[in-house]
Amino acid sequence: MADEKLPRFSSGPRPLARAARLVVVDSIVARLLETHRDHVVAIGLYGSTGRGTDGTYSDIEMFCVIDQLGEDRRYEWIHGDGKAEVALFGEDVIRGKAATVDEGWSVTHAEFAYPQRLRGDQRFFSELHDLVFAHPDETFAQAERGIIVDELYEGIGKVRNAVATGDFVKLASRACRTALMSALLLGLARRKIYTAAGLDLAESMQLAGRPEGHDELCRMVMSGDLADSKQVAVTLERHWQGVAEWIDCEGLDLSPSLRWPF
């Protein structure tokens, strides 16, 4: 029996119709209810399968909330034709995760903001949604400053080092990283949860008040047109200048990042 499974794994994910994928979802729900019984508070389905946009090779992403404090585990396995992932959370843990704002908020919190309810009271899912967005402006500003200082400011220094030394080998990956962080910055500033990590660049280009150079950089990365290292460096420099102007236009206070921290 074990030998029969190996070829299915080594060939990678197999095509699976949505109806068949939902049968797998139902079997996972049944297993969770059997294993945790009356302790189950809620079960949610998210990602492309939860949105109804899954393709023939999409995976399954779910969470199960139980009434046990501190529970925080994640299971990932191959269910036969594809991959499944189930996060097992205590109520306190999932509330804490939903209420956290960090640099990746715009792509990590769709799981909590917009899951499909499979089991549990709708009020619990509404509470998770509200926890994702219920923060003072300064909480988002702190995460924005983190991206600007830790990623974009440091990143343009690396670009300038590359130009100064003529060592352009890392510029393509730097462009990809900078485009992503610019999209995350915009997501925080506009309180936007992107549909999926792979759509963050395209969706960020629809948001209002983008830094000059953001769209140009995103289009360059999305097209894969990164072979001309000197042009990549020019595009990254233009993006940084746009970010610097954007900070002023947004009225974002960077003074906490300009002082001695200790």
Residues labelled as active-site residues: 154
CA distances from 92 to 72, 75, 96, 99, 130 (A): 10, 19, 6, 11, 15
- Contact 189/250 with Cβ under 8 angstroms? yes
Question: What distance in Å separates the CA atoms of residue 20 and residue 80, rounded to the nearest whole number?
Answer: 12
- Contact 47/59 with Cβ under 8 angstroms? yes
- Contact 87/65 with Cβ under 8 angstroms? no
Per-residue tokens: 42: 């809620």
Buried/exposed 192-218: b ≥16 CB within 10 Å, e otherwise = bbbbeeeebbebbeeeeebbebbbbbb
- Contact 49/58 with Cβ under 8 angstroms? yes
Question: What distance in Å separates the CA atoms of residue 197 and residue 166, rounded to the nearest whole number?
Answer: 32
DSSP, collapsed to helix, strand or coil, labels residue 108 as helix
DSSP, collapsed to helix, strand or coil, labels residue 85 as strand
Question: What distance in Å separates the CA atoms of residue 5 and residue 24, rounded to the nearest whole number?
Answer: 17
